[in-house]
Amino acid sequence: METINKLMNAYQTKVVGQEELRLALVVALIAEGHVLLESLPGLAKTLAAKTLAEATNGSFSRIQCTPDLLPSDIIGTQIYNYSKGTFDTKIGPVSANFVLHDEINRSSAKTQSAMLEAMQERQVSVGGVMFHMPDPFIVFATQNPIEQEGTYELPEAQLDRFLLKVLVPYPKRDEELKILDYTLSGQTTEPLPDSAKVSLEEIKQLQNAAKSVKVDDSIKNYITNIVAATRDAKTVIGPELAKYVDYGVSPRGAIALLRVAQVLALLHNRNYVTPDDVKELRYPVLRHRIMLNFEAAADEVHSEAIIDAIFSKIIAP
């Protein structure tokens, strides 16, 4: 628990509020997953990611996405060495423990797809040679709301590879006052003391501990029932809401519910999963995996409403 407390406290040292974001980042790190952060600019997404990297002494890289960004700008390329008469491989910024893919939906679909292999297989291919990502490896991708000009909607295959999708809101008034205090005091730019940091080895120990958290058969059945309900929504929540659902959650979504629940149990100092662990981060786990149609957008129906309706119908063990 000391390692977890250090991670949580390091976040609070520089980032004001945004408690769901803090929990999501720590959970994703321990669950070995990636996070998609959606909000308007200036809401501490970059600061939160950098703080987590600093707290673990991990390497950090930032990729600023633009419409003219190329896949080679991300994964790397081969450069001809005139003195040697050979090609030298230059690995791109994707090779870091923590990768911030800033404004991912401002890059083209071809460039977005360059991240798929790195995110899923944790390796990239440059000039026919495979390069493995460092361990741990976590991608923080930020995106602006789709309705803004100059943005491209992420393909479903890439969305599904994010363990969590977090919507980052504006801070409250008292939190914004505290942000100004942090800025004036220089607290957000001061380096963390070594005593506040954890090692990458300690992170690996947490990841292994989370995998060993016990999951009863009743919990597994609960998760599979939830996922099945998203695929047959009409039977579970009725046609009035089900008409907005194009298709439901993949098996990767069921695995995400399981892994996140195990990590939450660990954070709550338990070695077994409860139904509340499955419910706690249900929105970040499922909101980007339940695909709604154009009618839902017209009627302003969001995936959270579908998620709530399904969880209210599926009986917890």
DSSP string, 92-133: -TT-SSEEEEETGGGS-HHHHHHHHHHHHHSEEEETTEEEEP
pLDDT at 129: 76
Give CA–CA dist 140/34, Å, rounded: 6
3 state SS of 29: helix
CA angle, corner 35, sides to 29 and 40, nearest 5?
135
pLDDT digits (tens, 9 = 90+) for 156-168: 888 888 999 999 8
pLDDT of residue 277 exceeding 80, the answer is yes
3 state SS of 242: helix
Please check whether the domain covering 2-185 is classified as CATH 3.40.640.10.
no
Q: Over the range 176-207, which residues count as b (16 or more CB within 10 Å of their CB) and which as e? A: eeebeebeeeeebeeebeeeebbeeebbeebb
The per-residue pLDDT of the chain, averaged, comes to: 87
pLDDT at 19: 84
**Range among 109-113, 121-125, 191-195, 213-217 with highest mean pLDDT value:** 213-217
* pLDDT greater at residue 105 or residue 257: 257
Confidence of residue 119 (pLDDT cuts 50, 70, 90): confident
Kindly report whether the global pTM for this prediction surpasses the value 0.85.
yes
In this prediction, residues 9-24 reach a mean pLDDT of 84
Confidence of residue 12 (pLDDT cuts 50, 70, 90): confident
Establish whether domains 2-185 and 212-313 are of one fold. no
pLDDT at 149: 61
Give CA–CA dist 99/108, Å, rounded: 18
pLDDT of residue 74 exceeding 90, the answer is no
What is 212-313's CATH superfamily?
Answer: Magnesium chelatase subunit I, C-Terminal domain (1.10.8.80)
pLDDT at 225: 95
* pLDDT greater at residue 219 or residue 57: 219
pLDDT at 147: 58
Confidence of residue 273 (pLDDT cuts 50, 70, 90): very high
Confidence of residue 54 (pLDDT cuts 50, 70, 90): confident
Sequence-distant (6+) residues with CB within 8 A of 102 are 46, 62, 63, 64, 65, 142
pLDDT of residue 146 exceeding 70, the answer is no
CB contact at 8 A, 44 and 187: no
How do the domains of the chain map onto residue ranges? 2-185, 212-313
- In single-letter form, the type of residue at position 291 comes to M
* pLDDT greater at residue 272 or residue 158: 272
pLDDT of residue 171 exceeding 70, the answer is yes
3 state SS of 91: strand
Sequence-distant (6+) residues with CB within 8 A of 26 are 4, 7, 8, 11, 52, 267
pLDDT at 305: 92
Give CA–CA dist 30/151, Å, rounded: 31
Give CA–CA dist 75/198, Å, rounded: 28
Share of the chain above pLDDT 90, in %: 33
Confidence of residue 150 (pLDDT cuts 50, 70, 90): low
Residue whose entry in the numeric block shows the structure tokens 């979504």: 253
Give CA–CA dist 230/246, Å, rounded: 10
Lowest mean pLDDT among 25-29, 35-39, 75-79: 75-79
pLDDT digits (tens, 9 = 90+) for 221-256: 999 999 999 998 888 888 888 889 888 999 999 999
Give CA–CA dist 49/140, Å, rounded: 7
CB contact at 8 A, 259 and 209: no
Residue whose entry in the numeric block shows the structure tokens 């098996």: 251
